[in-house]
Chain A
Amino acid sequence: MKGFLDQEFAQGGVLVTKADDLLNWARLSSLFPMTFGLACCAIEFMSTGTTVYDMDRFGMAPRATPRQADVMIVSGTVTFKMADRIKRLYEQMSEPRYVISMGSCSNCGGPYWQHGYHVVKGVDKIIPVDVYVPGCPPRPEALIGGILKLHEKIRGESRVKPVEIEKLMNLPKT
C-alpha cells in the first residue's frame, strides 16, 4: 500500500476517517524525544539521531525541555541520585507522554543488578514505562525498533470513554 501522502484523493480532497485514527497518526508522526542521556546507552541514542540512522524521518527532533517533549527515552543507568530528577522531569512533561526504557540498566539494573548499591533496579520503579528495549547497549536499529513498537501502541489508542465501551459491552445480546 502506498503511504498516506503518496496517495491521490479523488473526492475534492475530502477524507473520511475516525478522529482516533487522525489524532493517533498525528501524535505518532511527531514524537519529540527529550534531550538527555544517562550513560553509555546515550551514545547509541545519539547515533540514532545521526544521518546514518536518521531519527528525524520519524518526525523525532530532540527537544531540550520536558515541556515540549512527548517521549522520554531513558538511555542508561538510573542512579538513585538521578532518580528524583527523572521523576521530576517526567512530571514536567505534558500529556500524552510516553517513556521508552533503553538498555538493560534502565530495564532492570543491568550489570549493576547485584552489587549496584547506587542503581535503581529498573526505571519502571519510579515512572511508568511503555516500551522496553533490551541490550547493553541496544544498537540504534534496536532503539528504532522500540520507537516503532511505541508507534504501534499509540496507533491502538482510543479517546472513546471507557464508560461508552462498557455500555456497548453490556448491551443485551440479540
Chain B
Amino acid sequence: MNAVLEKYQLSPESSAYPPTVRVDSQNLILLLTELRENPATYFDMLSCVTGIDNGPEANTMEVIYHLYSIPFHQSLAVKVVLPRENPEIESVCHLWKTAEWHEREAYDLLGIRFKNHPDLRRILLPADWVGHPLRKDYQHQEYYHGVHVAYQAPQPPSDR
C-alpha cells in the first residue's frame, strides 16, 4: 500500500485510524483506480462515502472515501477537500457500484455534485425539497406542503 501512496507523494496521517491520506481532487480518480486495480493493494470494497461541511468560516467541504481490502484486511481513508461554493467531484461509480447511493446521499444532504454519476437524484428527502440540510448555514423552509416546519408552542387556553 505504501509503495502506491509514495508514487503519489502521499503519506498516511499516523494519528488517524484508518490511515488517512489527503489527495487533490484532480488526482483522485487516478489514485483510487490504482488502489483498486493494483494486485498489491486491491481495495475491492468501498465501505462508505462521507461528506462533510466545514462551515462558512473554513469555506471548504470534504469527501472521504473509506476503502477496505477484503483479501489483505486493510483499511484506508482517502480525503479530498473541495471549495464550499459549487463543490464538484468526479463520481467513482464506475469503480465501485456501491458509490451510487452514497454519492446520492452526499448530494442530497450537502449538495456536493458528482460528475458522471448515472443517476444523481435526492435519495432520502422528497424530490421537491429546497436546500441541503446538513450544510452548516441551512435554513429550513417555513412551510412544506402547507405544514409549518418549525415547532410552535401550544398557546395556553385563554381565560373564559
Contact = CB atoms under 8 A, between A and B. Distances in A.
Interface residues of B, number: 14
B147 A81 contact: no
Nearest to B147: A125
A58 interface: no
A121 B145 contact: no
A80 B150 contact: no
Interface string A89-130: 000000000000000000011000110011011000110000
B147 A114 contact: no
Interface string B111-124: 00000000000001
Contact of A117 (B138, B145, B148): B138
A117 B132 CA distance: 11
A120 B143 CA distance: 10
A118 to B, nearest CB: 7
Given A117-B133, A117-B138, A81 B152 contact: no
Contact of B150 (A81, A83, A121): A121
Contacts of A83: 145, 147
Given A80-B126, A81-B126, A113-B151, A118 B133 contact: yes
Contacts of B40: none
B133 A126 contact: no
Given A118-B125, A118-B133, A80 B144 contact: yes
Contacts of A109: 151
A84 interface: yes
A113 B125 CA distance: 18
Contacts of B126: 80-81
B145 A84 contact: yes
A28 B151 CA distance: 34
B5 interface: no
B1 interface: no
Nearest to B127: A81
Interface of B: 124-126, 133, 138, 140, 144-145, 147-152
22 contacts: A80-B126, A80-B144, A80-B145, A81-B124, A81-B125, A81-B126, A83-B145, A84-B145, A108-B151, A109-B151, A113-B151, A114-B151, A117-B133, A117-B138, A117-B140, A117-B149, A118-B125, A121-B149, A121-B150, A121-B152, A125-B148, A126-B147
